[in-house]
Amino acid sequence: MSEPYHIEGATGPWEVVIGLEVHAQVTSAAKLFSGAATAFGAEPNSQVSLVDAAMPGMLPVPNRECIRQAVRTGMAIGAEINRWSRFDRKNYFYADLPQGYQISQLYHPLVGEGAIEITLDEKDPDSEVKTIGIERIHVEQDAGKLMHDQHPTRSYIDLNRSGVALMEIVSRPDMRSPAEAGAYLRKLRAILRYVGSCDGNMEQGSMRADVNVSVRKAGAPFGTRTETKNVNSVRFVMATIEGEARRQVDVLEAGGTIVQETRLYDPDRNETRSMRSKEDAHDYRYFPDPDLLPLELEEAFLEECRASLPELPDAKRHRYERELGISAYNAGVITSDVETARWFETVLAEGAKPAAAANWLTSELFGALNRLGKDIGDSPVSAAQAAQLLGLVADGTLSGSLSKQVFEIMLETGQDPAAIVEERGLKQTSDTGAIEAEIAKVMAANADKVADYRGGKDKLFGFFVGQTMKAMAGKANPAVVNELLKKALDA
């Protein structure tokens, strides 16, 4: 943020301006206006009620849980919650929309202005904080899905998604680089997952972004924007912005003008292309939906929403640093995802010391999970087992290197650490007699090196440590080995 983003190939002080409209699927067992289920990956058209199929005469009934989740999300971003809001019809014809209109909220959205704080590098405690404004969050229905790859000459429609509740979270045009947009999406996703209002799964389409991009000479009024629809990963959003900024600068520098239009991102070619000229709100003939009463929220409902909010990522990060004495880096990493934070708190509840547990989690556990391509949710080692392992290190049963060996075996076998230590005799030993005996053997076998060491080659000390540890099959207490070796060599 401190260094302005440079648009590749641009001459002069061009600046990119970005606003994101994120569609987040509300976590709810049922759809926004019907009781049909919302499970991902179900058999096509197996989760469609008469309302979702827009059968004549069917009436929508708002699902309280969807409204509740959107309100809680609004509260989590410090937004104003509108006690009175209303649903509008957005009219357009397309095969994936059997009603012929989408029920949305244009004039009176449920949630008004809020904000999200981002840090460009979440793991760097000194990284600058920037506030990104949120214009509104409104609630609307999703459309069905067209399938063009099932038959050579026909297209099919899957209406499972038709009527699923979405929150559209509209940012202000406050971002100035692809990296800021990436940080915003990651932070928004983290908040949604903490709140539990959306699972944030971009691959499954439960979070998608419309990416609005324009460019301007620094200080000039905003330029004309284009909107790239339905981009479904953080990486693709960043690539869309880079490519679109470059394309717009090229057009402007060649004396052309930017057309306000809707574009499509093609991940295979990593470029956007024009889809249609941008429609305006009036093209959709919005009007209040006569089938639905306005939403009026009662104080008790709002109170329940507020009371049910969890500790959010920023608050948790600060508490970890302040109260648990965890390094800023570790606190940032662990709180960046709710599942990781929950796992960590279970390890602490099982008796582990916070700082040691945090270090172990961000290095050993994350290293192993990366290697195995797994998320913390399907870690082969449970939080309770991790706490036991840390306990064995804390009470001196295991050295750092033995704990790594034991952890590897835990990953492979799923066994408890105590059982592994017992079965394989991996306990650390501080038995000075046994260690001294091995030291004597190592020195006898390396008389030349002993002479070199005593002649001033200090660096050889590490060699003797290594040999002694090897002779003790890695089980000797390293501090004791160091101490006894010094004594023997300096004698």
Binding site for ligand ADP (CB under 6 A): 17-21, 170-173, 212-214, 222-223, 225, 227
Q: Both ends of the chain: CA-CA distance in Å?
A: 59
Footprint of Mg ion on residues 2-61 (CB under 5 A)?
21
Q: Which of 309, 319, 374 is nearest to 345 (CA)?
A: 319
Distances from the Cα of 298 to the Cαs of 104, 241, 305, 396, 423, in angstroms?
A: 21, 41, 11, 58, 62
Which H helix or E strand runs over 101? strand 101-104
Distance CA 20, CA 246 (A): 18
Q: Which of 310, 292, 298 is nearest to 140 (CA)?
A: 292
Work out what residue 17 binds among Mg ion, ligand ADP, none; the CB cut-off runs from 5 to 8 Å by kind: ligand ADP
Shortest separation between residue 217's beta carbon and ligand ADP, angstroms: 13
Distance CA 355, CA 361 (A): 10
Q: Which is nearer to ligand ADP, 286 or 366 (CB)?
A: 286
Q: Which of 32, 48, 135 is nearest to 87 (CA)?
A: 32
Residues 6+ apart with CB under 8 A from 379: 343, 365, 369
Shortest separation between residue 10's beta carbon and ligand ADP, angstroms: 16
Footprint of Mg ion on residues 96-135 (CB under 5 A)?
none
Q: Which is nearer to ligand ADP, 52 or 135 (CB)?
A: 135
The DSSP secondary-structure symbol of 279 reads: P
Q: Which is nearer to ligand ADP, 18 or 305 (CB)?
A: 18
Q: Which is nearer to Mg ion, 21 or 199 (CB)?
A: 21
Work out what residue 214 binds among Mg ion, ligand ADP, none; the CB cut-off runs from 5 to 8 Å by kind: ligand ADP
Shortest separation between residue 269's beta carbon and Mg ion, angstroms: 24
Output the six-digit token pair for 291: 């089938």
Q: Which is nearer to Mg ion, 21 or 452 (CB)?
A: 21
Shortest separation between residue 20's beta carbon and Mg ion, angstroms: 10
Kindly report the number of other CB atoms within 10 A of residue 422's CB atom. 11
With beta carbons less than 8 A apart as the criterion, state whether 302 and 71 touch: yes
Q: Which is nearer to ligand ADP, 172 or 342 (CB)?
A: 172
Work out what residue 172 binds among ligand ADP, Mg ion, none; the CB cut-off runs from 5 to 8 Å by kind: ligand ADP
Q: Which is nearer to ligand ADP, 198 or 420 (CB)?
A: 198
Shortest separation between residue 27's beta carbon and ligand ADP, angstroms: 23
Footprint of Mg ion on residues 274-293 (CB under 5 A)?
none
Can you list the alpha helix ranges (DSSP code H) found in 4-139? 64-76
Work out what residue 225 binds among Mg ion, ligand ADP, none; the CB cut-off runs from 5 to 8 Å by kind: ligand ADP
Shortest separation between residue 282's beta carbon and ligand ADP, angstroms: 11
Given the rule CB under 5 A, which residues bind Mg ion?
Answer: 21
